[in-house]
Structure 1
Amino acid sequence: MPVIDYVFRAAQSCEVAEIFGLYVERVRWMDENNINQWNTTGYLERYPVSYYKEQCELGTLYILLNANDGKLAGAVVLYQSDDRWLDKADVPAYYIHNLVTAPGVKGAGVRIIEESERLGIEHGKHCMRLDCAEDNIYLNEYYASKGYVEAGRCKDGLYVGIRREKRLPVIISRL
């Protein structure tokens, strides 16, 4: 099986409709595979296409493209602050949100995480943070295997999440 090379970059406004389509496709996939996550929580209503347009304008929406054919493999929003982490807001961090991959594209999720971490290091962030539904055992084990340690709980309406963070190496430049 050939190794897929990817390009990770900030999204452009002309790409937002295609990016939103990826979220719609993933929700449909969840329905078809009896996975209760975004498809049962009103995710597309809470994060409509206008949300992604705004994130694109703010420069926080990133995409992963297959370098060979240019196809969209995934997307993520990287916040610089998050209300779910107010108790740790003094530490420079990127907050991973809205991470999505195209169904059937193996390895895209881990690549998005790796590229987000690389960007965090380049931008002087001390850690990466995210949250994951408390009852999603698979994803919590996955994030733990990638070095994201539990850092408390968060609640947003009916959603109860486990906060996770990963320390990044801090690069000290010499002038």
Structure 2
Amino acid sequence: MEKESFIFRRAEVDDILSVMKVIENRCLWMKENGINQWDEEYLKFYNFNYFKERVEKRELFLVENFQKIVGTFVLLEEDERWDNDVPAYYIHNFATDTEIKGIGSEIIEYCENLCRENSKKTLRLDCNINNNKLNNYYEKKDFKTVGICDESPEYIGYKREKIIF
């Protein structure tokens, strides 16, 4: 896939089922690959109504490639897991098509550019503390561990932050 063929846009209600399919496929892929991040309960909590609310708040984004949704993420300006101490964007529900490499990097770059355009000092996310593969990926993308997100027993994750300026 060529970089120029990726189109970013805000999601609409009609996109939600496709978004959920991308996430469902990623959940299955994680299970098959022994990656501890999302499980079959994920879409029970992050369900259609959750994504509908994100659409209404203009927080759900898509990545398309030739009219096919190949990536999705929610971008928030505040996150209850964080102190919200500096202007930041918070990435959630970050999922990509399991068959196409490089979309994650494109999403991160897109979010970094939005930070610059909107005077956000940092880009933040969290990742399961036991997900070594994804934590290593974020480290390589210059996301530093800055704390712990503890929602025991369901979830314990690293808070990660990338300074933009």
TM over 0.5: yes
* Counterpart position of 1:39: 39
Q: Is residue 13 of structure 1 aligned with residue 13 of structure 2? A: yes
Instruction: Quote the Cα distance in structure 2 between the aligned partners of 1:167 and 1:160.
Output: 23
User: C-alpha separation between the residues in 2 aligned to 1:124 and 1:51?
Assistant: 27
Deviation per residue, 1:54-113 (Å, 9 max, x gap): 1011000001111xx221110000111111112xx1200000101000111110111111
User: Which secondary structure does the structure 2 equivalent of 1:97 belong to?
Assistant: strand
Structure 2 CA distance for aligned equivalents of residues 166 and 29 of structure 1: 27
Identity of aligned residues (%): 40
2:110 to 106, 112, 115: 115
- TM-score normalised by L of structure 1: 0.87
Alignment RMSD: 1.4
Unaligned runs of at least 5 residues, structure 1:
170-175
Q: Which of 55, 62, 71 in structure 2 is aligned with 1:74?
A: 71
Tell me the TM-score normalized by structure 2: 0.92
**Take 1:156 and 1:141, find their aligned partners in 2: how far apart are those partners?**
22
Larger radius of gyration: 1
Q: Point out where structure 2 has 5 or more consecutive residues left out of the alignment.
A: none
Task: Give the letter for the 1:167 counterpart.
Answer: I
Aligned residue pairs total: 163
**Residue 36 and residue 162 in structure 1: after superposition, are their counterparts in 2 closer, same or farther (change >3 A)?**
closer
Which digits, 9 at most, give the CA deviation of each residue in 1:115-145, with x for residues without a partner? 1111111111111001111111111111111
The structure 1 segments of at least 4 consecutive aligned residues displaced by more than 2 Å after TM superposition are 2-5, 28-37
